[in-house]
Amino acid sequence: MPELPEVEVVRRGLDVHARGRTIKDVTVFDERVVVGAPQRWREAIVGCRITTVARRGKFLWLGMGEQAAVIHLGMSGQVLVGTPRRPPRHCRVRLAMSDGGVLDYVDQRMFGRLSVSPYEATLDGKPGGVGELEARVPHLVAHIGRDYLDPHLARQEWKRALAASRRPIKAVLLDQHLASGLGNIYADETLFFARVHPLTLARELSTRTLNRILACARDVMSSALAAGGTSFDSLYVDVDGHPGYFQRSLACYGREGEPCVRCASPIRRIVIQGRSTHLCARCQRRPR
């Protein structure tokens, strides 16, 4: 599933290719990806000018006046830019733009969703997300916490929430309500570099360790963003159809049995709450 770096790569591409354009027409090839009545969704956005392309966590939105077209890529969603031609395989929705280009929403596994949402004011009075200049956020995204690359993330509140949690730190990092953007890949990478075992209860971590986790999360995702994201297969590409290359730099995720880059001990894979988790048992000591 695309995580924060992959979604931010897509957002930046859309900011170049879509912002300032007007949606001239919409073709829905598969109604299952559209939330609500497809015809009403179509009528809501045709003729609208895209003024902002923003993101919070794994959610994208195209700002259009007092409403936003919200995009969640799910497990395999892609937004591709191009010129009118035969839609690519698994294309579910096509937006025809005023400049003659198109935006194709492609989704092989059909877990992504497209919707339209009104805005609501942010509780902290700060811009709603990366790329959003106003203190507002689409209603459908308001329950999602600010992400680790958002300069307005309330770090002290994040640390207080973790210090009170009885859950394992891996589970807390995956909770998109506290802070968003981290999924299975980057949570494992973050804890590896922070030298924290994923089963450690969040409440047992010191303030110093929480600061280290926060710093590592930002560093890992910044590095992944610089590499264009992580592409294990063709399901994630940027808006021009190019894959990311961060999978070449992964330190622990997906490396079961391979030597740790720090100590050469074999990387282990365990399951936490149904999610595969990769770690170095030597560098990330399990709590008593």
Catalytic residue chosen out of the listed positions 3, 6, 132, 189: 3
Catalytic residue chosen out of the listed positions 42, 58, 92, 170: 58
Closest CA to 91 of 76, 108, 74: 108
Between helices 207-226 and 155-163, what is the axis angle to 10°? 120
Catalytic residue chosen out of the listed positions 19, 126, 159, 275: 275
* Joined tokens for residue 251: 């330190």
Closest CA to 81 of 246, 245, 237, 232: 237
What percent helix, strand, coil does the chain show, rounded to 5? Answer: 30, 25, 45
58 catalytic? Reply is yes
SS3 10: helix
3 catalytic? Reply is yes
CA-CA-CA-CA torsion sign (200, 206, 209, 215): positive
Q: Are 255 and 228 in contact (CB under 8 A)?
A: no
118 catalytic? Reply is no
- Tell me the C-alpha distance between 176 and 88, whole Å: 32
Q: Which residues are catalytic?
A: 2-3, 58, 275
